[in-house]
Chain A
Amino acid sequence: MKTKKTSRFFANNSALLIPLIAILLLVIFNLFRDPGFFSVSIAANNNGDPVLQGNLISILNGASELAILSMGMTLVTAASGGQDISVGALAAIAGSVFVKVLKGGGAITGSTVLLAVLACCAVAMLFGAFNGSLVAFFRIQPMIATLILFTCGRSIAYWINGGATPTVTSGIIDGIGSFIPGIPIPTPILIVIFMGILFALLFRFTTLGLYIQAVGINQGAARLNGINAVGMKLLAFVLLGVCCAVAGVIGVSRLSLINHETLLINIEMDAILAVAIGGNSLGGGKFKLIGSILGAYAIQALTTTLYAMKVSSTDVKAYKAVVIIILVVLGSPVVKEAMDRLWKKLRTSHPKDAGKEAA
């Protein structure tokens, strides 16, 4: 009975194998290279507060923006069968709005920060809706539709603040970007957990997951079953907008500075990659959010490993590409089929197990 349950678990979650294997390989590789690689220690930061330190924390912390964006990207991919390449630009816009509001009136207090977060969420949702309407109403391919914002987004971000790299100084912002005094876990990690719970609740208490998958798999059939397909696609883009806003706020808060040209630059490609590594089809349909999140951590673990190995800067991208090729090929349908065949052979050679499965 137990074996049946576990085997069914693997059958249902076989898509998660790739990111899990990737992370596992990186862990083993690093432990082999340096047994202390994942050790976590507590040290005091420059404010005198105790904080957690170590490569593990760096990976979890560094991947925060990517993890959050990959959640939204998964929804957009599932619903529209395409990807949003403007997430980095939209995060820059959101970050600029965040800073603009913060600098708008006098001292930075908790309520101004809250106002700034809400404002940048609202703006990002509007831009998300703009992308979404191009895709859903006008049926433009997502990559083409979001190319518009990808191209002009960072100019808009510049225009919002006028200056190139405005800075903000506030303990609250430091709290968002690095540590809240007294809590040794980096705040971005906590924000990822918060967002994860938020999405989990959304899927638990609404039918969003079912609807988005239905629309992504067969829009016509979904429509004939009363699902508002256009609305679902739009909603996916708006939710991605929220993710962009949160990622933008984290990115800005880490350094208390907005550089519209470099904030989360090139992250759109990593976000799409996270979705793919997470075992989700880039053609839309069924999705697993947790897969994309694991994919995001796998990417960051890889980058951190390469940094720790002091791979020369010019070579980093090439190494990254090699690892990604391996992951993507592992997750390809051809390899999957071969694995399935192997799995079946193994099972048929153990007739006892096969009998159990049949029962």
Chain B
Amino acid sequence: MRKVIALLLALVLVFALAACGQEAAKPEAKEDTPAGSAEGGLIKVGVINNPPSESGYREANVNDFTSVFTEENGYDAKFFYSIKNDEQLAAARQFITDGVDYLLISAAETTGWDAVLKDAKDAGVRVFLFDRMIDCDKDLFEAAVVSNMALEGETAVNWLLDQKLPEYNVVHIQGAMGSDAQIGRTGALDAQFEAGTMHKVVQQTATWDEGEAKKIVEAVINSGEPFNVIYAENDGMARGAVAALDEAGITHGVDKDVIVMGFDCNKWALRELLAGNWNYDGQCSPFQASVIDQMIKTLEAGGTIEGLNDAKQIISEEKGFDARTITQEDIDTYGLGE
């Protein structure tokens, strides 16, 4: 009996390790592609990103890059994923040593990149940043394709103001405090609270946790204080809030008691919009690959990059979807995940 148990446990162990191993092995395998095998004419690109398991956003982001930087498209691309800055830095050095032409970076942390980027410049490797900025001299990179979280918040709040409600009693559910997305999406709404155009019923963080968002909204419902807007800083928390509304018999969505707003444009969230259960979903575009692809092609053709702002940024075009106007096509084009 004991032996059987031990055997079973050993199997579990192997299973678990294999699971962990696969995670780790994926990027390695891709990295192994020998640099020399690239056909003449292919542009050598090293992409450093966060692992797709980080979030739905990241998964879409990774898929976007792997589908754009392909051999058919003229690239010999190598990918490296890590949420650890030092591992990313080491990978960047390796890419430079391997002699890539371009380095594409979504950094885990904003600091500590100066030396590596200088090395890259000395080695003639050109650098693009995407998704996240790095604190460094802007001569060290060609351009940065990023989202403007504050703009996302403003777009959403402007949409809300356009609804011309007689009064705005807002339940504001925040993401993890201090994250870029939270700061950006909170800012615009805070301005309204301060200006007095909207009334803050409650402002509470659920740290991106759907279950916690539900508890927060339950507490508001139990207090009996009236509210007519739920502004959740991502789709998951909006879903948690809606679950609380459903249990309390409070209607929500187009022409209902409570307006529901979310962010990130997960496919399932957009479907809620299409069904009229939610009212608004703000996009946070993970699609930066084609923009960078265009810029690289421009540089290769001897041109110069245009349309950069003072910080050498290109702001990704990001929309906000209204339940009244959204179409199935929008969901297929812009929705993340399944």
The reply to whether B203 and A312 form a contact with Cβ atoms under 8 Å apart is yes
Question: With a CB–CB cut-off of 8 A, which chain A residues contact B116?
Answer: none
The reply to whether B9 and A304 form a contact with Cβ atoms under 8 Å apart is no
The reply to whether A255 and B239 form a contact with Cβ atoms under 8 Å apart is yes
Question: With a CB–CB cut-off of 8 A, which chain B residues contact A262?
Answer: 207-211, 236
Question: With a CB–CB cut-off of 8 A, which chain B residues contact A295?
Answer: none
Restricting to B206-220, which residues have a CB under 8 Å from any CB of A?
A: 207-211, 214-216, 218-220
The reply to whether B55 and A261 form a contact with Cβ atoms under 8 Å apart is yes
Question: With a CB–CB cut-off of 8 A, which chain B residues contact A264?
Answer: 211
The reply to whether A156 and B337 form a contact with Cβ atoms under 8 Å apart is no
B260 to chain A, nearest CB (A): 13
Contact A130:B13 (CB < 8 A) given known A255-B239, A313-B205: yes
Complex Cα spacing A215 to B20, Å: 33
Complex Cα spacing A251 to B243, Å: 12
Contact with B along A42-80 (1 / 0, CB 8 A): 011111000101110010001001000000000000000
The reply to whether B218 and A58 form a contact with Cβ atoms under 8 Å apart is yes
Contact A159:B247 (CB < 8 A) given known A129-B12, A307-B204: no
The reply to whether B23 and A45 form a contact with Cβ atoms under 8 Å apart is no
The reply to whether A53 and B221 form a contact with Cβ atoms under 8 Å apart is yes
Question: With a CB–CB cut-off of 8 A, which chain A residues contact B221?
Answer: 53
Restricting to A128-175, which residues have a CB under 8 Å from any CB of B?
A: 129-130, 133, 137, 148-149, 152, 154-156, 158-159, 163-167
A229 to chain B, nearest CB (A): 13
A310 to chain B, nearest CB (A): 5
Complex Cα spacing A58 to B239, Å: 17
Complex Cα spacing A54 to B221, Å: 8
Question: With a CB–CB cut-off of 8 A, which chain B residues contact A149?
Answer: 16
Interface: B6 (CB within 8 A): yes
The reply to whether A137 and B219 form a contact with Cβ atoms under 8 Å apart is no
Question: With a CB–CB cut-off of 8 A, which chain A residues contact B222?
Answer: 53-55, 58, 308
The reply to whether B243 and A255 form a contact with Cβ atoms under 8 Å apart is yes
Closest B residue to A264 using CB positions? B211
Query: In the complex, which of the residues A158, A179, A263, A303 has the most CB atoms of chain B within 10 Å of its own CB atom?
Result: A158
Complex Cα spacing A47 to B247, Å: 9
Contact A257:B236 (CB < 8 A) given known A45-B246, A45-B247: yes
Question: With a CB–CB cut-off of 8 A, which chain A residues contact B82?
Answer: none
B249 to chain A, nearest CB (A): 5
The reply to whether B243 and A307 form a contact with Cβ atoms under 8 Å apart is no
The reply to whether A55 and B219 form a contact with Cβ atoms under 8 Å apart is yes
Complex Cα spacing A177 to B214, Å: 12
Interface: B54 (CB within 8 A): yes
Complex Cα spacing A128 to B45, Å: 43
Query: In the complex, which of the residues B12, B205, B211, B249 has the most CB atoms of chain A within 10 Å of its own CB atom?
Result: B211
Interface: A126 (CB within 8 A): yes
A127 to chain B, nearest CB (A): 7
The reply to whether A127 and B204 form a contact with Cβ atoms under 8 Å apart is no
B111 to chain A, nearest CB (A): 24
The reply to whether A254 and B12 form a contact with Cβ atoms under 8 Å apart is no
Restricting to B222-251, which residues have a CB under 8 Å from any CB of A?
A: 222-223, 235-236, 239-240, 243, 245-251
Interface: B142 (CB within 8 A): no
Question: With a CB–CB cut-off of 8 A, which chain B residues contact A304?
Answer: 215, 218-219
Interface: B318 (CB within 8 A): no
Closest A residue to B205 using CB positions? A313
Question: With a CB–CB cut-off of 8 A, which chain B residues contact A51?
Answer: 247, 249
Complex Cα spacing A21 to B57, Å: 45
Interface: B53 (CB within 8 A): yes
Interface: A178 (CB within 8 A): yes
Interface: B202 (CB within 8 A): yes
The reply to whether B215 and A62 form a contact with Cβ atoms under 8 Å apart is yes
Complex Cα spacing A167 to B277, Å: 16
Question: With a CB–CB cut-off of 8 A, which chain B residues contact A183?
Answer: none
Closest B residue to A265 using CB positions? B209
A359 to chain B, nearest CB (A): 51
Restricting to B241-295, which residues have a CB under 8 Å from any CB of A?
A: 243, 245-251, 266, 268
Complex Cα spacing A332 to B203, Å: 36
Interface: A3 (CB within 8 A): no
Interface: A259 (CB within 8 A): yes
Chain A to chain B: the 6 pairs with minimum beta-carbon distance, closest first: A164-B56, A307-B219, A158-B53, A313-B205, A133-B9, A130-B12
- Sampled A-B contacts (25; CB under 8 Å): A46-B249, A58-B219, A62-B218, A126-B15, A129-B12, A133-B6, A152-B16, A154-B53, A155-B20, A163-B338, A164-B336, A165-B266, A165-B268, A178-B243, A234-B5, A254-B210, A255-B239, A257-B239, A260-B53, A261-B55, A262-B208, A304-B218, A307-B204, A307-B216, A316-B204
Residue positions of B touching A, CB distance < 8 A:
5-6, 8-9, 12-13, 15-16, 19-20, 22-23, 53-59, 174, 177, 202-205, 207-211, 214-216, 218-223, 235-236, 239-240, 243, 245-251, 266, 268, 336-338
